[in-house]
Amino acid sequence: MPKAAEQASDSCHTCASLKRFPKSLVEQSSEDPPDLVGISYVSDVLKRNRQHILVIRETVTSYTSTCFIKDEKLGSLLDGLIHLLIPLKPLNGPSVVVRVDPAPGFRPLCDDSYLKQLNISIEIGRFKNQNKNPVADKAIAELEDELLREERDHYPLSENTLVIATTRLNSRLRQRGLSSRELWTQRSQFTHEQLAISDMNLIRAQHEARNKNHGFSEISKCSRPGRPSPDISIGDLVYLYTGRSKTQSRDRYLVVARDGEWCFIKKFSGNQLRASSCKVKLSACYKVLNTISVYRNPRYSQKVYNQESDCDDHDKDSLPGPIRDLPPARSEPPPIIICENIDDVENQDEPTGQPDNSLERDLTHSKSNNEQDNKRVLRKRSELKTPARFKDFIAF
């Protein structure tokens, strides 16, 4: 019985959407580094004291630029990106890529024609990845610290305060012993002398340091081993381990494609399937076991089911014949004659001088309509006779 209950729980979609799982090790990885300095950027929006600050950072040198925007709508984000990126790149230079979050204001910018004319491309991070834009998140955290040092009171910031805080952020020394401004301009921020810095060595050292730190970061977050990759194929219904929250159960997804250790899923919204798909790892998904078996009649053997399931083995003679015609519609039933007075029936049964041909006329009429179904029913005299025990009673 416990095994049957466990099997029923594993095959229940409601139980799967509410099930709790222990934390496990999540494998971390980094993307390929850029080939040059100044062609890869990240962007995000900082909301503070009812103000919106657009932040842009170069991924290799961590050089940061900021500006105020009115809101997070498409037009404000477009103007802010152009205002910050144009001073950092030549107009006729190579194309730059800006990685952003899948926010509603950033999504339409992927196909913006004006940005393409300026050689600016927008890259959207993976929607189901919680660490989809880590460089931008780090830039937001560092800028908030600088703003707290500059303006402790919770008042709206001014343009001068934001510029001073951003300049101090770019002047702070980092792990390589140089500030972001020195790496960007290749000049000392104290003497303004030229520094001997190789961009390729800088890019290679940064990528190696990130890959080396992944193992220690994984163990510090969770010491348990990682989850194995499940056997998922196209058409399976899956759930995400990280999809459950305190107030909402996990959403259900349909696997539409596979690419190695990755799969593409579409979300179910009620009974409808979303048009957009998400890319997730196989180890982040788990599917509900399908244990529903087809009911079979025990009177039939397995051989009978196999023969019925194979449609190619049937001959024309074994196929059922055509459906027979339905019988004609049945006419209304003949009426039943009920005599309220018993004496009338007794008088009818007494012999008279003339023969009674009423019964023959009725039978002739019924045979003309339907000989078998429409026969007139007459009650016998014995059925209408008063019982012997009621002879002493006087009928009124």
pLDDT tens, 325-355? Answer: 555 655 555 555 555 554 554 444 445 555 5
Phi, psi of 201 (to 5 degrees): -65, -35
Residue 377 pLDDT class (50, 70, 90 cuts):
very low
Residue 267 lies in a domain: yes
Q: What's 21's domain CATH number?
A: 2.30.30
Q: Which of 3-17, 26-40, 43-57, 258-272 shows the highest mean pLDDT? A: 43-57
Same domain? 213 vs 265: no
Residue 329 lies in a domain: no
**Torsion over CA of 358, 361, 362 and 364, rounded to 10 degrees?**
160
Q: pTM of the full predicted structure?
A: 0.68
Domain endpoint, select from 317, 338, 356: 317
Same domain? 166 vs 242: no
At 265, which helix (H) or strand (E)?
strand 262-269
pLDDT digits (tens, 9 = 90+) for 197-227: 999 999 999 999 999 998 888 888 888 888 8
Q: Which of 1, 2, 18 is nearest to 241 (CA)?
A: 18
Q: Which residue has the higher pLDDT, 259 or 152?
A: 259
Domain endpoint, select from 317, 336, 358: 317
Same domain? 52 vs 88: yes
Residue 324 lies in a domain: no
What 8-state DSSP symbol labels residue 392? Answer: T
Task: Confirm if 166 and 184 have CB atoms less than 8 A apart.
Answer: no
CA atoms within 13 Å, Cβ hemisphere of 3: 0
Residue 153 pLDDT class (50, 70, 90 cuts):
confident
Same domain? 217 vs 242: no
Task: Confirm if 145 and 129 have CB atoms less than 8 A apart.
Answer: no
Residue 349's pLDDT is what?
A: 47
Same domain? 167 vs 280: no
Mean pLDDT of 87-100: 92
Q: Which residue has the higher pLDDT, 64 or 225?
A: 64
Same domain? 95 vs 62: yes
Same domain? 21 vs 167: no
Same domain? 60 vs 87: yes
Task: Confirm if 67 and 53 have CB atoms less than 8 A apart.
Answer: yes
Range of the structural domain that residue 305 is part of: 12-27+229-317
Residue 297 lies in a domain: yes
Please state, in angstroms and rounded to a whole number, the distance separating the CA atoms of residues 246 and 256: 28
Q: What residues form DSSP beta bridges with 100?
A: 124
Number of structural domains in the chain: 2
Residue 334 lies in a domain: no
Same domain? 108 vs 212: yes
Residue 6 lies in a domain: no
Same domain? 101 vs 235: no
Same domain? 204 vs 235: no
Residue 330's pLDDT is what?
A: 57
Domain endpoint, select from 188, 221, 254: 221
Same domain? 51 vs 153: yes
Q: What's 181's domain CATH number?
A: 3.30.420.10
